[in-house]
Amino acid sequence: MTAIVLGVLAGLLAGTIWGLAPGIISKYGRGKPFYIINYARSMYAVLLLALIVIASSLPLSISPVGLLVIAISAVFGPLLGDLFYIYSIQRIGGGNAVSIGYIYIFIAQVLSAIFYHEQLSPRLVVGTVLAMTGIYLIYSGEKHRLNKAGVAAALAAALSWGMGATLSRLAVSYGAPLVVALYRNLTVLLILATVSYRETPYVFTKKGFILGFIAGGLGFGIGMTLFLYAVKTVGVAVTALATSISPVLGRIFSRIIAGEKPSPRAVYGTLVSALGIFIGVY
């Protein structure tokens, strides 16, 4: 396989893994503050990535400037972005939150074109328009039962993710994707520990483990590593579109895991988004 194909596949796999998070958080995060949930996710991600990095004997040395860039990308991405995201999930449901939040695709593509001069091919533009149309259909089919705070949080997540994804391309230039993912999650963990350390016992309960390992160890850990590899290989714009498979699968998994019932328009929107992904990345 060529590097480009591997990069696209990495983005699709990252989006697939992330598609599990909305349903898992919706079901197993009920009654817990949103920052505690992100604390649990980052802890399992750090534990899993640390084991893999040690086993792989990858060099951990990164310049001070590189560590600063990685930390900033973490603040915008998995810290602020996912705090807003979890807050949104708890108020409007996982399927709705992921659908609105993935407006980040457009933001990331615009920023990558401005800062990195990435070319937006006609197929990529058409695919993105279709994916965004699908996301709008999902939202419009559900808006009658969405509260404003939840929608605002999902939009804030989209903005933060867009900035975090753009910064990720610079961050991954300072080290291997696996190591950068470890440092990003460590940044999130250390910041959230200042307000969440008393809840550490919860992280190792049954619910805390299920939520933390699937949405964190796999999502923040493996998913983030795949995302960073894709960004490094094919750029931000293509990777962002590839990960838009997440709201498609997030809608399905939220129904299976958390029992959320989408409207018919939300189902149509999911299919349109899937078509946009196919056109844009194949």
262: left (phi over 0), alpha (psi -120 to 50) or beta: beta
Query: What number of CA atoms fall less than 13 Å from residue 10's CA on the CB side?
Result: 25
Q: Percent of the chain scored above 90 by pLDDT?
A: 60
Residues in the chain: 282
Query: Using an 8 Å Cβ cutoff, are 212 and 43 in contact?
Result: yes
Least Cα distance to 43 among 254, 172, 199, 179 occurs for 199
pTM: 0.89
User: Which is higher by pLDDT, 255 or 116?
Assistant: 116
Judge whether residue 267 has pLDDT over 80.
no
Between CA 19 and CA 97 the distance in angstroms is: 11
- Give the pLDDT confidence score for residue 174 in this predicted structure: 97
pLDDT(235) > 70: yes
Question: What's the structural domain count of the chain?
Answer: 1
How far apart are the C-alpha atoms of 216 and 166, rounded to whole Å? 21
At position 200, the amino acid (one-letter code) is: T
| pLDDT tier at 8, thresholds 50, 70, 90 | very high
CB atoms within 10 A of CB 219: 25
pLDDT in tens, 67-102: 999 999 999 999 999 999 999 999 988 877 887 888
Residue 94 sits in which domain range? 3-281
Average of per-residue pLDDT values in the chain = 90
**Rounded mean pLDDT, 27-42:** 94
